[in-house]
Structure formats: C-alpha cells, structure tokens
With several copies, the nearest count.
Chain A
Amino acid sequence: MSVTQKAHSAQRNQEIPEATRLRLFKLQVEIRYCEKRAYDLFLQNLVKGTSHLALGQEAVAAGFAAAMNPDDYTFCTYRGHHHTLARGAPMLSVLGELMGRQCGLMKGKGGSMHLTSVAHGVMGSYAIVGAHLPIAAGAAWSAQYRGTKQVACAFFGDGATNIGAFHEALNLAAVWKLPVVFCCENNMYMEYTPISAVTAVKHPAADRAASYGLERQVIDGNDADVVYSAARDAFAKARSGGGPSLIECLTYRHSGHSRADPAKYRPKEELEEWLKRDPVTLYRNRLLASGVAEGTLAKIESEAMTKLDQATEAAKASPTPSLESAMSDVWADGGNAWRN
C-alpha cells in the first residue's frame, strides 16, 4: 500500500463512528469463530451434509451488514453463513441448521446451503449459482412499489458472473432503476478452477458494470472499513432512487471450496500472501492503531467465544427434527396434499 493510500484508509477509518467500527470488529470475530466451530463440528461428524465456509471473507459480510437497515433484504449463496450471522441470526439457529437439529433456522429442512431467517432480513441462501440475483431484483422492485425505502442486497461469487441470470438481473435492475446492491465476493476461484481461466475479463463483475450503465467498482474486500464505506454509499444511492450498484470485493477464502475440498490447486504462496491480509487481524490492528484499547477488543473476543460455546452446546442438545416435518410446509396451509 502506498503512503497516500495508507493515509486515506486511516482517514476513512476515522470517519466511521467508533461504535460502528467496534461492530465491524465484533461481527468479523463472531463469524470467524462460528465458521471455525462449524469446521470442528464436521470433524466430529456432527454436520452431515456439505458446507461452504467463508473464513477469510468476514470483512465483506461485516461491512455490508453494518451498512444495512434492519428491514433491508439479504440474499446469499450456499456460502452464506457469514451474511446470515452478520444480519443477526443467532449462532444457535445457524449451527443447529448445519447439524440438522430442531433448533435450526429451518429445522433441518434446508441445510447449510439454504440458511434463511426472514426475521433478520435474510431472505434465503440459494444453491443454484446466480439464481438469487433476479430474485433480489424482484424484492427490490417490491420495495420500490411499496415505497418502503428498503434495499435488497445479493451476494455472489466471481464464478456467478458468467451465468445468464447475472446478466438478466443486472439489466432488469438497471432498466427499472431498482434499489438493489449486487455484491460480488471475488475470491479468485469458482470451486477448483481459477476464475481467470474461464472469464473473458480480468474483473468478472466490475469489468461488466458498463454493460448495465453502472459504475465500475473494485474494492478491497478484506478491509472492513473500505467495504462498509462502499456499501453505505450504494445503499444510500439505492434508497434515494438512484438505482442499482455493482461492487466487486477482492477477497480470498482461507479453506477449500466446500467441506470435501483440501484446496490443493492453490499455489502455497498465494494462500500465504492472503493469510497475511487476514481481514480480522488487519482490522484488529487498525483499531489498536487508532487508539481502541486492547481490553475492549479482548472483551469482544471473549464474549463472542462464550456466546459461541453456549450456542454449540445448545445445538448439540437440541433434538433432531420430527419426521413429520419432512412432509410439512409444501403449501401455505402447512401441508403437502396434492389431491383430495
């Protein structure tokens, strides 16, 4: 980072109220701990299906969530634990869902890839790449129609930019000037393939913004202040009728694509380089440098760990869902009858 950039970034940090900065830290810590715990629970064979961790991508979730209003809408991918937690869904319900327990957000019916918590504005996690982009546009249209000033935000990966739904959603959102923010978490890989090997442009999202009349935005996705500022501006624009934004956050996942993936396809140095830019460490150091007391941060960390330990135990103690629930809620009447 150049000297001017450093100065700029320190300044931006100072512009963000301390309460917000502490919240950004807390959210990142909670996500980091909870994702690590999810990993431990796999190893104990307590999480049965697949799971896609966001270790390393915490700053994106924290930065966006901190910039949102409580009634804004979040749409995640299968890699959505971090966004779900960031919006305030309890750890217990998230871990419970991963473990397929009654206490889970969807009582085990959705699983890790479909975390949903409407009470917290998390309108679902979608496991078909790109599918939620038009859905988020639709939610934004509804907000616009109802005049509520809500904003919808869809998170997706670099790989999702090459699917047709991306293109259709962005065009519709631009034409209808919808209050929606599209956030691409560019972690450089679509599963095991480097995004550069399958994409015609260097920046899979940002280099396509012009196709929809949108501004090109590429930001440091590992810097929560940067993310927060960009998100805040995009939400403000959307809320004031300025239409959609597309923000590409450069980041990296520390673990494999999913539970099954040891991520051997990644150059060792690449991982090391990014671990040096760990968003949580980076932010902790920045807060210390800006004068926040070590004790304040340590307290946030220990409280997060306590909360997590309690959630873990409670989730383990939660019963498995009743088998009847497998047959419920196909229809709004709660049932599944397709005939009389």
Chain B
Amino acid sequence: MAQLSYRDAVAAAIAQEMRRDERVVLFGEDTAAAGGVFKTTVGLFEEFGPRRVKDTPISELAILGAAMGAAMTGLRPVAEIMFSDFLACCWDYVANEIAKTRYMSDGQISIPLVIRTANGAGSRFGAQHSQSVENWAMAIPGLKVVAPSTPADAKGLLAAAIRDPDPVVFFEHKSLLANKAEVPEGEHVEPLGKAKVLREGKDITVIALAAMVPRALKAAETLAAEHGISATVMDLRSLVPLDAKTLLAESARTGRVFTVEENPRLCGWGAEIASVIQEEIFGALKGPIVRITTPHVPLPAADQLEDAVVPSVARIVAEVRRGLDSRRAA
C-alpha cells in the first residue's frame, strides 16, 4: 500500500487505464502540459504524449461533443470539465446527447466515456465555482454518477468508470484533493454501484457522499462520545447505479435515517433516497428521514459564509440530535 493524495490517485487511475488500453484518451482545458488546474492529471502528458493527452480551447460544448463522437467510434475518452458548475455550459451534451443516444438508437450506438469534473465547496470560490451538482446528473436517465470520498476510491472507481461501457459523470471533490491515504498498489478497480458501510452503529443510519463522508464520520464520533448515540455511517460512492440493497438494509436496521448532502436542498439526491426508503421500508422506520443539506441558496464566497451554509460536523451533530429529540411531527 502506498500513501497517495486524492488528486494523485485520480492521475494514477487514468495512467493505469491508459497503459492497458490504447483507446483511452484524456483531454480538457489545461489538462495536458499544465497537468490540470487542480493538478489531477500531472505526469500524464509526459508519459502518454500529445496524441493521447490534449489541451482544448475554452469550448465546453466541443469538449463533450468531441468526447461523445470519439466514444461512438471506438475510443474511450476521459473528458475534463474543469469545474462541475461548467456542466451547465454543456448540459445539452450531458442530458440530451450523451445520456440518450444509446436509447434513441435502440442500442446501435455505445458511448463509453467519462466526464471528470471538480465538484463542491470549500475553496471560497463563490457561487459559480463551488456547487455540488451531482443531483443534476442523477436526474438524467442514461448517466452513471460516481463521487468518491477517499484516494483509494478515487483510483478504483475512476478506473471502473473508464472501463464501463456507459457514460459516467465522475465528481472529484475539490476539498478532498489534498487528502492522503492508503491506496492499493498495482491494478486497482472498484466495482461501481456498491455503497460502503464505514462504521456500524445501532441507533441511526447516516448516508453521505464525497466530502460529506469524512464529516459524517467525525459527527458520528462526537455523537458517540458526547451524546451516546451510535451511528452507522455509509458512503454511497455512486448515485447511479445505486446500492439500494445496502441502503435499505442499513436503514431498516436502525429505523432512523439521516442523509448528509452538499447539493442545495430541493430535489437533491437525499430527496430521492429518502423517498425510496420511506416507500420501501415504511414499516421499519421509527421516525422521519431527515435530510441535512446545504440550504436552497446559491453559495456565498466569504469563508465564514461558505462555512455557514455547507453542512458542517457541528451541524450534522445538531440536526441528528434535533431529529431524534423532536417528536413534533410524529
């Protein structure tokens, strides 16, 4: 096992897949010589050269359009959209073209590509560079949606995404990039669609994703140490495919479920998951499912303001306690 940062794990996954499959190509704005503005593609240009690792103009439509055209005709492109906020600039490709073309063509056309993008808050970049938009992608039929929380998953899930025969939107969280942890050496591939139970508890089930996972874990420690509340913490890892089995089993076990999500509140992935849980194991629930989310506001830039809106460890703890205490609604 080697210690790798999340950003290095991303580069390692791409390198691993480019070595084994000549069809894999990487491109985006400043991804080549510069190694990416987040330094997640460092070394790839040097190893694989300008034919396989390319810089593009600021043309998000052309980036995803070209990725799609290449994927339909035999390549396995990994396209970078620098910030996930910019998916809005090429949403037609994400939602209308890449996601739907296999279906519309009755399976004649395959689109094996990965859209990598830097997601989430923490860098004080303001409302147009800090969003969590994994719920946008989840809402579109035909897309797989992956968001790792650890360096090992960044490597293993990205490798799997590149091998996947379907389009995958891969969210790399900006505030996790510098995190270092053990990553299996040699070939490492994690199957898509498996959630991970990181902590077993008996009172509540906390379901989190990406940067909310370490916060949920810390909150669980505080809840155990200071409030005697024993929490299961689960990392969803992918929204599509969704590991509903694990999700439902872990939810049923405690009967009290909390989702922790960074996307703004309305129509977030937490809403979907809460709806699935209440619909399928209604009888096992001992109280309402509580969604802990960023409120439904754009993101402010100043550090104190940003910290005030994105779910923090303290807020998770507080909302869990309030959720367990109150029987207002019940």
Contact = CB atoms under 8 A, between A and B. Distances in A.
Interface of A: 48-50, 73, 100-101, 104-114, 116-118, 123-124, 126-143, 145-146, 150, 152, 159-160, 162-165, 168-169, 171-172, 175-176, 190-193, 197-199, 260, 265, 320-321, 323, 325-334, 336-340
B330 interface: no
A5 to B, nearest CB: 32
Nearest to A160: B58
A114 B70 contact: no
Given A168-B61, A338-B242, A339-B242, A141 B300 contact: no
B308 A109 contact: no
Nearest to A111: B301
Interface stretch (B96-104, B147-155, B226-234): B96-104
- The size class of the interface chain B forms with chain A is 35 or more
A109 B301 contact: yes
Given A106-B105, A168-B65, A336-B295, 8 more contacts: A108-B301, A138-B69, A198-B55, A326-B305, A326-B309, A337-B241, A338-B241, A340-B241
A159 B33 contact: no
Contacts of B298: 330
A135 B97 contact: yes
B49 interface: no
A142 B34 CA distance: 24
A198 B57 contact: yes
A273 B61 CA distance: 36
B256 to A, nearest CB: 22
Interface of B: 25, 29-30, 33-34, 37, 51, 54-62, 64-75, 77, 85-86, 88-89, 92-93, 96-97, 101-110, 112, 123-129, 141-142, 165-166, 193, 240-245, 266, 276, 295-298, 300-306, 308-309
A199 B56 CA distance: 9
A172 B103 CA distance: 28
Contact of A339 (B59, B126, B244, B304): B244
A146 to B, nearest CB: 6
A134 B108 contact: no
A118 B72 CA distance: 10
Contact of B56 (A100, A172, A265, A325): A172
6 contacts: A107-B106, A112-B126, A133-B65, A135-B68, A142-B75, A338-B241
B73 A131 contact: no
Contact of A143 (B25, B73, B306): B73
Contacts of A199: 57
A48 B303 CA distance: 7
A120 B103 CA distance: 19
Contacts of A129: 58
B102 A331 contact: yes
